[in-house]
Amino acid sequence: MCGIAGAVWTAAGPPLDEHVLRRMTDLLRHRGPDDAGHYRSAVVALDGQAGGGVALGHRRLSIIDVACGHQPLANEDETVWIVFNGEIYNFRDLRRRLEGAGHRFRTTSDTETIVHLYEDEGIDCFRHLNGMFALAIWDARQRQLVLARDRLGKKPLFYRADAQRLLFASELKSILTVPGVPREVDPAAIDAYLTYQYIPHPRTILQGVAKLPPAHWATFRQGRVETGCYWRPDFQREIDRPAGEYREELQATLRDAVRLRLESEVPLGAFLSGGIDSSIVVGLMQREMTRPVKTFSIGFTVPEYDETHYARAVAARLGTEHHEFRVEPRSLEVLPKLAWHFDEPFADSSAIPTWYVAQLAREQVTVALTGDGGDELFAGYDRYQAVRLGSWFDRLPAGLQWPLTTSLWQRLPVDGSQRSWRRRFKRLVGALALPPGRRYLEWIAIFGEARRAALYTDAFLAALPDADPYGFLDAALARSSRRDRVTATALADLTTYLPCDLLTKVDIAAMAHGLECRQPLLDYRVVELAAAMPLRDKLRGRRGKAILRDAFGDLLPPDVLRRRKMGFGVPLAEWFRKELKDYAYDVLLAERALARGYFRRDSIAALVDEHVRGVFDHGYRLWALLVLELWHREWIDGPATLQPAPQALFT
């Protein structure tokens, strides 16, 4: 796993100096602590005159071909150069094919496979890759730079382009270190962030900078950017097959996906939450390995958030070498580091335990397998039950719908708990009158549309464009519009929530410690298989992941097989009423926070006050606002630094 950065510029564009290129890669040294490499070259235009230049930078975390996998790496005649972040799991099969076609290899790395595959197929090469990647290829023959990102968005890639130059990097901070790059906050990005708790691709928090979406490529040639998508599975098509056939194919495919991800020249282990997904991955790993798998779990002092006893039960059954870490309120000391590493506002509070489990794992391994993707692929989230109830509601006659949507239900008393059944029921009923897609957004949003409007100042509302944050989710739902409502929603989560939130969280938290994470459930073969399955194979009664339980039940303890999903949250409600109470007042109502002009003082004060008094649980909302302000203090109020400076955020 690595970090990449660089630029390409036209004859009229500003060149990227050698020292700036090195500074860009220095900011990524946490992603690649083992090696660094740089390449710069002038570009000769078609008329023979100087035509600009190209610069490629790389930081390496050595996993495969530790001795010889230095980058940037070129083909035989040095007309194609690459910097690559990720792992290609089928590179050995591809290499045999390429050698048969006459290509000569100088290394045993997966990176060189991509170079020769690109020589033969151009941008069509990416559809052959099974892996996770973000990469940049300089094609001197075509005088173009090619960027690409893996199918599910496991590896990040940012870029900033105008008619004269394109800058790219694994992390936004690397682009911000280039002189002259503006830091103008995009109001629409803030609106989207407060909706989803992340900023959806291709938008970023800054105007003029984009995230390349998953399964996409981009080219920069003669001052023009073109983009395209190389993988579009048919989410509209459901294939009706006997459950036994699906079960057997899933067993074989996931087993092979795990096997491929065990290739490494450095120690590897796994994250183990005690849930179905990570437990299955660890079980399949243990069957392939001759020694106990090293497993790592995170726990909490608040019992309702702690699932370490399940993880211990799985570890005991499978015979793993198990390690645990307990997150306590004092662990919030990591907040400044999170603000520095995440680059953009990111309000998923499970970044905290993910950070610590990555830190714990890195003490003993360099590669960790995870269970990411199981909930989206196999209908594991509890909220899909609400989606199914909503679809039943939509089939009711209008006369029966009205009593359920009347405002009388909104008068139900609720306690302040985020997990209260009465609160969940009230939220469910309150959105039933909305169209299905908008209804789901209201269920999952941190701040719903009405709450955001009440939060914003008049000036900020006026600065917002007409674009609605809902458009991002709506487009994803449209890709599976002919499927049942639950499947359509889960597949939308697969292309929105998964890459923008879960995979971003894992990538940033793990790479901050120089740890590579691999996700077998997100092998594209598993994804395509799961996407074609009927809902009945996934959701039975009130329990999702039915086919996973059927296919791999022999790996798991009975208690784990029967348990309901807990989620990987943190006890924000309690923290904001105790340890974080004064800090929330001090930061969110500080003059420099309010002077940004986004939010009304009285609205912020009401949120804090209602939460502290226990009137309502605004923990997730306060966390989102706190993270946004800390991001501003790190990246707008002060310059980017080579290392996070914790004290700067608390002054």
Active site residues: 2
Residues 599-617, buried b or exposed e (16+ Cβ, 10 A)?
beeeebebbbeebbeeebb
∠ CA(412), CA(418), CA(420), 5° rounding?
Answer: 50
Let me know: does 507 contact 154? Beta carbons within 8 Å: yes
Classify residue 243 by burial, with Cβ atoms within 10 Å: 0-12, 13-18, 19+.
middle
User: Tokens 């469910």 correspond to what residue?
Assistant: 428
DSSP 8-state assignment for residue 206: B
For the chain, report the end-to-end CA distance as a whole number of angstroms: 35
Residues 162-201, buried b or exposed e (16+ Cβ, 10 A)?
eeebbbbbbbbbbbbbbeeeeeebbbbbbbbbbbbbbbbb
Q: How many CB atoms lie within 10 A of CB 247?
A: 16
For 158, 489, 532, the CA distances from 537, given in Å and listed in that order, are 38, 16, 11
Residue 43 CB-half CA count within 13 A: 28
CB-based contacts of 392, cutoff 8 Å, min separation 6: none
Strands ordered across the beta sheet of 158-161: 35-44, 50-60, 2-9, 165-169, 158-161, 209-211
- Give the distance from CA 563 to its chain's centroid: 26
For 339, 352, 577, 579, 609, the CA distances from 582, given in Å and listed in that order, are 20, 20, 9, 7, 11
Spatial distance between the Cα atoms of 294 and 367, rounded to a whole number of angstroms = 11
